[in-house]
Every structure is written in C-alpha cells, then in structure tokens.
Chains A and B, each alone.
Chain A
C-alpha cells in the first residue's frame, strides 16, 4: 500500500501544529523573554499551513520546486526577525528541527504497520526539511550580517567626532586604525565642519592610533592636503616617539606637514598663528 504523505499531513494538520508547538515549548532554552507563546503559535500555524497546502505527492522529492517558494519566504521572514531579535543559531535551528521531529513523529503514529512505507516517507520528509533548514540558516546568517554592517557604519560615524576647541580651531581625535574607507569619512566630516564653522586650523590628533605604516601615513597626508585645498591649515598632533621612529625608518616624508607631539602644543601653535594669547590673570592677594 502506497501512502500519500501530502494527504496524510493535510488531514493531520492540527495535530502537527500541536506536536510542533509542544516540541518548541518543551525545548529547554525557550526564550520567553524574546518571544511569546502566542507568537510561536502564530508563526508555527502559518508555516504548517503553507507547507501542507503546497505539498503534493509529486513535489515532495523536488525541494527546489517553485511550489515551496511561499514556505521558504515565511521561513526566511521568521529567521531574519529572529536573527535581529538576538536568538542564537541553536534556538533558531530548534524551531525548524522541531517541525521535522513533529512530522516524523506523526508519520510513525500513522504508518505503524508498514515499515517499508514508513522508511520511504521518513526519508522524503527528512530531505525536504533539511533543505528548509539550510534556507533558515542562510537567512539567519544574512540577518546577522546586516546587523554587523549597520554597526560598522555606526562605529565609523561615531568614531570620528570633530570638536570645536576654539573659535576657528577644530580638533579631530582619531582612535583606532585608519583604512581608506575611514579616511574618507574623516575627511568628509572634517572638511564639512571647516566649511560650517569657517575654521582656519584643524588639528588631527593621532594619540589613539596604535601604529602608523606607510598606508596610514599616506591617508594622513591626503587629509592634510585636502584641508589645505579648502584654504585651512592642518596640524598632526599626538605623535608618540615609536611612531616618529617608524615614520623615519619607513622613509615617509612629513616635512611639509606641521607636526606636534601633543594636542596642547598643537593648540599653542594654533593660538600663535591666529595671533591669540592665553594669559594667567594675576590674583590679588589679601595683603
């Protein structure tokens, strides 16, 4: 006797959902903080609905059949939201594997007497669900990657604050390394701020840059040259002795650039070129 698995599953849809939800709820690491029971039920029902409605005796062996596009869309949707909500891969995996276990359990109950048919049906369901698991993981990882990309963008944004230290003087502390993408962000922010504030001096402080190689030096020189093209002067400060050593050993020419060892001395230099003076006010003593 040949079993029509799709018909069987359609008939037993209710019990599949119940079994699956039971599986999910009994899972030790259920994240009740991230998802409610109602949400689990709703997601599970939607997926099982779509699966049994689209499954036929013919397409059960064709995992790439367009009939399953709807199922895959739902799965991707669930997977991507879970990635964003902070579910672990194990938890997301348990979701789809729970469905597989539910289906297999049901087959076992229904096809008790015919071992050969049970085996065949089990294999088919296994293959189908395995391919769905792959979809789940692919989209889960994609969702995580999107989070990483967004965070990278945010880090580049926040890591380059332009500070107005004095009327006409800007300072930009660089923390971490300078690659070409970051240099572009640094330059854009700095030059934009120069235009907005009408500042004529910019101090680039590199105390937070762990090491300077010839590429980073080139990026620094580019930033200085671009600032000069705008009509402002750019001073590099915060150069540690080790960095001065590497720069000379690498043969990098910084002779056209004003460099200072500390931000304070760069500021002092800026005051001088803007013809400003900072004076201590004589304190009147009691006598």
Chain B
C-alpha cells in the first residue's frame, strides 16, 4: 500500500503531502508519524500541505490528532503552506485547527520549531551535544 514518506531532519520530522489524501492514507500517516516520533525522539513535526487543495473535517481532525498525540510525546507540530482558499474554507466550516501551530512555508516552520527546541535546551538542558544544528 502507498505511504506518505516521512523524512528526518535532525530533531524534526518532515512530511510533504503531494496528493489529495485518501482516508486510509491519512490514517496510516497519523500512526506512522506517531511511531516515528517515538522511535526518533523527534522534538518537532512539520507537515507541508501546500499541495493540498481540500481539507475537510476528516483531514482537519487528523491534523489535530497528530498535533495532540505528538504533544503527549513531547513534540510540537507545525502545519505549513496552507492555501488561502483552504484557510478561508476551514474558517467557514468552523474548524480553526486550535492546538496546531501554523507557518507560511517550510523555512518559517523550521524557524518556529527550532525556537521552541532551543528554549527547550535553555530550560531543561537534557539534549545531547550533537543536537545543535543550523538551518
């Protein structure tokens, strides 16, 4: 079965959705991501939806679930690149995706996640040396 690839970039997992998601694909993405976060102890998840033209309440709920589940595993989720038409539609639908961070593009999403991870370093100081990387 088809799967959405998950890339690991340092402490961040990067997912780029290139197609309109079939339900099963979306559900498997949810479980794969959560597994990956656990396995790699990633601190952030970045989902690029710039190529997604429709987000209905089903897919919106998947994003919300991913964010909540990752949060429990101590990773922040950022959804980036939402199309203007999709944003307007989600608001009208009544789905403001509360709890999910958003950013304009992958670059800005990375900056957002990194600033979260960095403050994490400052406060908890429980990260390894080789976790310092630059973008």
What residues make up the interface of A, taking CB atoms closer than 8 Å to B?
Answer: 184, 187-188, 191-192, 194-195, 198-200, 222, 225-232
Do the beta carbons of A230 and B84 come within 8 Å of each other? yes
In Å, the complex CA distance between A231 and B80 comes to 7
Q: Are A198 and B84 in contact (CB under 8 A)?
A: no
Q: Which residues of B sit under 8 angstroms from A232, Cβ to Cβ?
A: 104
B54 at the interface (CB under 8 A from A): no
Q: Looking at chain A's contact residues, is the secondary structure mostly helix, strand, loop, or mixed?
A: helix
A sample of 28 inter-chain contacts (CB < 8 A) reads A187-B84, A187-B88, A188-B84, A188-B88, A191-B87, A191-B88, A194-B84, A194-B104, A195-B84, A198-B108, A199-B104, A200-B104, A222-B91, A225-B91, A225-B96, A226-B84, A226-B91, A227-B87, A229-B96, A229-B97, A229-B102, A230-B82, A230-B102, A231-B82, A231-B105, A231-B108, A231-B109, A232-B104
Contacts of B102 in A (CB 8 A): 228-231
- The residues of A that contact B36 with a CB separation of less than 8 Å are none
Min C-beta distance of B91 to chain A, whole Å = 5
Q: Which of A187, A191, A229, A230 has the most CB of B within 10 A?
A: A229
Complex Cα spacing A188 to B91, Å: 13
Q: Beta-carbon contacts of B31-43 to A below 8 Å, as 1s and 0s?
A: 0000000000000
Cα A188 to Cα B85 with chains together (Å): 7
**At the interface, yes or no: B103 with Cβ under 8 Å from chain A?**
yes
Q: Does any Cβ of A come within 8 Å of B122's Cβ?
A: no
Out of B84, B90, B91, which one reaches A192, CB within 8 Å? Answer: B84
Does B129 sit at the interface, judged by CB under 8 A?
no
On chain B, the residues within 8 Å of A194 by CB distance are 84, 104
Is A226's CB under 8 angstroms from B88's CB?
Answer: yes
Decide if B104 touches A231 in the complex (CB within 8 Å).
yes
For the complex, give the distance between the alpha carbons of A54 and B86 in Å. 57
Q: Which residues of B contact A226 (CB under 8 A)?
A: 84, 87-88, 90-91
Answer whether residue B125 sits at the interface, using C-beta atoms and an 8 A cutoff. no
- Judge whether B109 and A191 touch: CB under 8 Å: no
CA gap between A184 and B87 in the complex, in Å: 12
Question: B130 at interface (Cβ–Cβ under 8 A)?
Answer: no
B contact residues vs A (CB 8 Å cutoff): 79-80, 82, 84-88, 90-92, 96-97, 102-105, 108-109
Q: A199-B104, A229-B91 are in contact. List 8 more A-B contacts (CB 8 A).
A: A187-B84, A188-B84, A188-B88, A194-B84, A200-B104, A226-B87, A229-B96, A232-B104
B104 pairs with A184, CB closer than 8 A: no
Residue of B nearest to A194 (CB): B104
**Least Cβ distance of B10 to chain A in Å?**
21
Collect the chain B residues with CB atoms within 8 Å of residue A228's CB.
96, 102
Contact status B87-A200, CB under 8 Å: no
Q: Is the CB of A184 within 8 A of B88?
A: yes
Most buried by B among A191, A194, A198, A222: A191
Complex CA–CA separation, A38 to B50 (angstroms): 60
Q: Which residue of A lies closest to B97 (CB)?
A: A229
Is A229 touching B90 in the complex (CB atoms < 8 A)?
yes
Q: Is the CB of A229 within 8 A of B87?
A: yes
Interface centre among B86, B104, B108 (most CB of A within 10 A): B104
Smallest Cβ-Cβ distance to A192: which chain B residue: B84
Residues of chain B within 8 A of A199, CB atoms compared: 104
